[in-house]
Structure 1
Amino acid sequence: MRRLLPLLLLLAGSAAAQQPPRLIGLRAEGGDFRVDLSDGTALHGADLVGAVLQFDGMELRLDTARRDEAVPMAGGARAGDVWLFQASARSSAATEWQAFCGADPQGERLLMPYPGPDGMLRLTCSAGGIGKCIRFGYRPWASLPDGRSLAPFHAACVHMMRGAYGDAERAWTRDGTRIDLYDRVGIQSPAMEAEQSFEAGWTPQGAVCVAHMRVPENGDLAALLAAAPHLAGRTGPEACTEARAEAEGALLFNRSHRAGGD
């Protein structure tokens, strides 16, 4: 992840102005950019189409912008603070622009800003686990109606999406594997497809228990235990149930196809 440097903002049409306003602030405001200019203007979302932002050694151009209208919230409402940008990038030595993001499962290449734990602007893409989990409703800057932060839910979701059962450096699944995620706070509900069964419960540190492996070619429960010995006594369908996972502090749960041999 590159650190964004608020050094340059070129807005379409600003060259015609005699004294274009200067950029004085750039940050994430929820899941959107907020650009503050020296004339007191604050720009967000679609205001920034055509802007070029300068990174350390790279320029980022915002080509399109739209609000994600489908991000769920607890209670059935929809969040309105997630924005999706098509963006192009080039290095300081290049002349041609290229798509900044890879394609997501829908074939779109979407850039998503969000605030990191330190409040600094972060960028992710809709193709990755961070962006997917934001769009699932686990917006790390937001809170539940009872005041609890969604940041731990987002971290748990990222582990789940990556299949990082007990080691953040190793993923035991592959992108595109079908999973059914759900929670106890009313953001996501289980689809309960007959061919899927309970897989694991998740916290910001990874899985609290694992009923079965998601992808057979990546290894079985014995291989998982060798890599994550702290899960001893918490693997297999009898040792890992939804009730057990919840008792162990799981925030999120998922169902998936069961890998053969577990």
Structure 2
Amino acid sequence: MVSLYVEGTQFKATLSDGRVLYSPDLVGATLTIASAGGETKIRIEAVEPDPGDNARAAAPSSEVLLHTFSYRTPEGEWKNLCDPGPDGRRQGFPLAGRARGDGTIAPAEPGVFELTCTGGAQGKCVRFGYHPWKMREGAPAARALYDACVRLVRADYSGDGKGTTRNGQRIDIYDRVGVQSPGNDPAHEFEAGFSPEGAVCVRHVRVKENTSLAALEASGPRLKGRTGAICTEEFARANGAILFVRSPP
């Protein structure tokens, strides 16, 4: 193999004889992945187009390829790389870029990628339709939508990388460009509006055991005077939010 890159959610391998193979061609292959913690052997067990998850606003997509990855333990066993997501799937995909400490993914030089599982915020946002690799006309940019989604899914209101949600928490996510539309569940109320940097305002917190409006206001100037009743969808839009979320109050 001469080179290994990522396009969208699949690998692109160029071989020494000039052949180009993509993820479906690489099923059964073992890759040696270098990271800060050393090298890990990853085997691609299966690849399939995303069948979607209607219960969680993830539409079927031929653009998103779900991989079943196994990693080799020090004892020589092969184990699934991913924990089960909300739909029970233990799958993932590669994403070009380098993970930041706050959970978002920064652009990086060719050949640098992250393996993302569908149960985490990074994977969920791709399945929701926020594809950071896409070019789109007008604002906001695709990567801005993706970063805002990661913040929103993790309930990272302050934009400091500290998520305050919990596994299995149901939310209604929508945006100003039509990738996702509000479900308008009467059991949900407006929670917050998000930009790529975090929440622009918070009406109520998603998980009261993990944070509070008072704690958010005290955490720094970002949300000072922007919590509680003042935070409506209209206020959030006027202050730069590009994604919105409703949840049980």
Asked if the contact 2:28–2:43 (Cα under 8 Å) also holds between the matched residues in 1, the reply is yes
102, 120, 139: which one aligns with 2:83: 102
Q: Which runs of 5+ in 1 are unaligned?
A: 1-22
Q: 1:140-195: per-residue Cα shift (whole Å, max 9, x none)?
A: 00133547531010000000011100042322221211100001111100000001
The answer on whether the counterparts of 2:171 and 2:246 sit within 8 Å (CA) in structure 1 is yes
**Mapped partners of 1:143, 1:187: distance in 2:** 14
- Assess, with a 3 A threshold, how the Cα gap between structure 1 residues 126 and 256 changes in structure 2: closer, same or farther: same
Percent identical residues: 43
Quick one: which amino acid aligns to residue 35 of structure 1?
A
Compute the displacement of 1:243 (Å): 0.8
2:17 to 36, 39, 49: 39
SS of the equivalent of 1:144 reads coil
**2:49/2:61 contact within 8 Å kept:** no
Assess, with a 3 A threshold, how the Cα gap between structure 1 residues 146 and 167 changes in structure 2: closer, same or farther. Answer: closer
Structure 2 counterpart of 1:217 = 209
Task: Quote the residue 1:143 is aligned against.
Answer: 135
Matching residue of 1:12: none
Distance 1:71 1:105 in 2: 10
Output the amino acid matched with 1:247.
Answer: A
Q: Is the 8 A contact 1:181 1:253 kept in 2?
A: yes
More divergent stretch after superposition (144-153 vs 206-215): 144-153
Within a 5 Å distance, the mapping from 1:1-262 to structure 2 comes to 23-56=1-34, 57-70=39-52, 79-91=61-73, 93-116=74-97, 117-118=107-108, 119=110, 120-146=112-138, 149-237=141-229, 239-258=230-249
Q: Which amino acid aligns with 1:132?
A: K
Following superposition, the deviation at residue 220 of structure 1 comes to 2.1
Q: Which has the larger radius of gyration?
A: 1
Task: Tell whether the 8 Å contact from 2:13 to 2:22 is kept in structure 1 after alignment.
Answer: yes
How does the TM-score come out when normalised to structure 2?
0.86
List gaps (5 residues or longer) in structure 2: 98-106
Rounded to whole Å, the distance in 2 between the matches of 1:147 and 1:242 is 19
Are the aligned partners of 1:184 and 1:252 in contact in 2 as well (CA < 8 Å)? yes
CA contact 1:52–1:59 (8 Å) conserved in 2: yes
Inter-partner Cα distance in structure 1 for 2:61 and 2:165: 29
**Paired residue type of 2:113:** L
Aligned residues: 230
Aligned partner of residue 82 in structure 1, secondary structure:
strand
Q: Kindly state the Cα deviation for residue 81 of structure 1 after the two structures are TM-superposed.
A: 2.3
Structure 1, residues 25-73: CA drift from partner, whole Å, max 9, x if none?
A: 101011111111111111112111100001232110000100125499x
Q: 1:69 to 1:99 in 2, by over 3 A?
A: closer
CA distance in 2, matches of 1:164, 1:178: 16
Letter paired with 2:81: F
Write the deviation string for residues 118-154 of structure 1: whole angstroms up to 9, x where unpaired: 1422211001000000110001001335475310100
Q: What secondary structure does 1:222 align onto?
A: helix
**What secondary structure, in the 3-state scheme, does the structure 1 residue paired with 2:234 have?**
helix
Secondary structure of 1:169's aligned partner: coil
Distance in 1 between the 2:241 and 2:53 partners? 22
- Write out per-residue CA displacement over residues 66-91 of structure 1, whole angstroms, 9 at most, x where no aligned residue: 0125499xxxx975321111111014
CA distance in 2, matches of 1:181, 1:167: 18
